[in-house]
């Protein structure tokens, strides 16, 4: 049985002090999540990962990126051993902002996913089409490519460590969210691709929807049978909004 998961992607927001203020309320949010029988987590900046870990150790954390090499001449990058040293085991890979502004490709995502799985870590792999691709009705072709290249080397034994997020690029931070029917259709399609590759293990893999999820619409998405939760940007930043997201799941 797949559990529902709400994951906040904080992007380049919150200083360490602001992250600590949020984490001070983390236990309160975790209690609400427990009552709602869902899991929650946040992906702060690299600098705030250890702050949250110390302030609220039970809150699930993800890094927003990682390099595939374990060390070397990659100025400005962070490695897997560095994340492991501070107890981080989940990493967002291929967020559309990384693809758009930092030239991340399906192939670099593949290398990162392979490196994470070799280290027994959990990739939260983001896929999704641009507005132009949506308008040309090639969403499924785009997703097919992202899944087949990104997960090309993932073996069935590792597949249950994956989390996939379907995030239509045109809906991220725009307030133009995809309908719950579109979210279900594409999440179902992703699961069918995972079934082709991994058989029944696909039924264990969490697939999230992301794109302008708010307290007012979170319930609609999470009702969908193939949508196992949400990756949430703007609405995950304040404790109050995160509280409302949790309370509105059911
Ligand atoms: C995101 O950053 O992954 C995201 C979905 O952002 P927002 O919820 O703000 O659209």
pLDDT in 10s for each residue of the chain, 250 residues:
899 999 999 999 999 999 999 999 999 999 999 999 999 999 999 999 999 999 999 999 999 999 999 999 999 999 999 999 999 999 999 999 999 999 999 999 999 999 999 999 999 999 999 999 999 999 999 999 999 999 999 999 999 999 999 999 999 888 888 999 999 999 999 999 999 999 999 999 999 999 999 999 999 999 999 999 999 999 999 999 999 999 999 8
What is the spatial order of strands in the sheet that 60-61 belongs to? Answer: 60-61, 39-43, 5-9, 229-232, 206-210, 163-166, 122-127, 90-93
pLDDT value, residue 223: 96
- Name the one residue in this structure whose structure tokens are 């280290």: 119
Q: What is the DSSP string of 161-205?
A: T-EEEE--GGGTTTS-PPPHHHHHHHHHHHHHHHHHHHGGGGGGS
Q: Which residues contact 149 (CB under 8 A, 6 or more apart)?
A: 106, 107, 109, 110
Angle between helices 16-24 and 26-36 (to 10 degrees): 50
Q: Residue 128's closest CA among 221, 207, 236, 200?
A: 207
**94 in contact with ligand 1, CB cutoff 6 A:** no
pLDDT value, residue 122: 98
Q: How far is the CA of 72 from the centre of ligand 1 (A)?
A: 32
Q: What is the pTM of this model?
A: 0.97
Provide the token pair at 71.
């060390």
- Name the one residue in this structure whose structure tokens are 């995972």: 194
pLDDT value, residue 177: 87
d(CA 248, CA 26): 18
pLDDT value, residue 129: 97
**178 in contact with ligand 1, CB cutoff 6 A:** no
Angle between helices 239-247 and 26-36 (to 10 degrees): 10
Top mutation candidate among 41, 125, 210 for ligand 1, by most atoms within 8 Å of CB: 210
Rg (CA), the chain: 17
Q: Residue 77's closest CA among 129, 38, 125, 112?
A: 112
Q: How far is the CA of 230 from the centre of ligand 1 (A)?
A: 9
């Amino acid at each position: 049985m797949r559990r529902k998961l709400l994951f906040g992607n904080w992007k380049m927001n919150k200083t360490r002090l602001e992250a600590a203020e949020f984490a001070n309320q983390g236990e309160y949010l975790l209690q609400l999540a427990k009552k709602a029988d869902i899991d929650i987590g946040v992906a702060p900046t690299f600098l705030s990962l250890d702050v949250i870990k110390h302030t609220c150790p039970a809150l699930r954390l993800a890094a927003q990126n990682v390099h595939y090499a374990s060390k070397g001449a990659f100025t400005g990058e962070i490695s897997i051993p560095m994340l492991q040293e501070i107890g981080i085991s989940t990493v967002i890979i291929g967020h559309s902002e990384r693809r758009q502004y930092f030239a991340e490709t399906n192939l670099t995502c593949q290398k990162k996913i392979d490196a994470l799985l070799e280290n027994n870590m959990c990739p939260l792999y983001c896929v999704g089409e641009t507005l132009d691709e949506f308008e040309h009705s090639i969403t499924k072709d785009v997703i097919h490519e992202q899944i087949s290249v990104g997960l090309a080397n993932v073996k069935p034994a590792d597949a249950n460590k994956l989390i996939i997020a379907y995030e239509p690029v045109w809906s991220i931070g725009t307030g133009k969210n995809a309908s719950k029917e579109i979210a279900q259709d594409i999440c179902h399609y992703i699961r069918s691709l995972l079934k082709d590759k991994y058989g029944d293990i696909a039924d264990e893999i969490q697939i999230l929807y992301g794109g302008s999820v708010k307290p007012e619409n979170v319930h609609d998405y999470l009702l969908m049978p193939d949508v196992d939760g949400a990756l949430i940007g703007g609405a995950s930043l304040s404790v109050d909004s995160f509280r409302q997201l949790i309370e509105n799941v059911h």
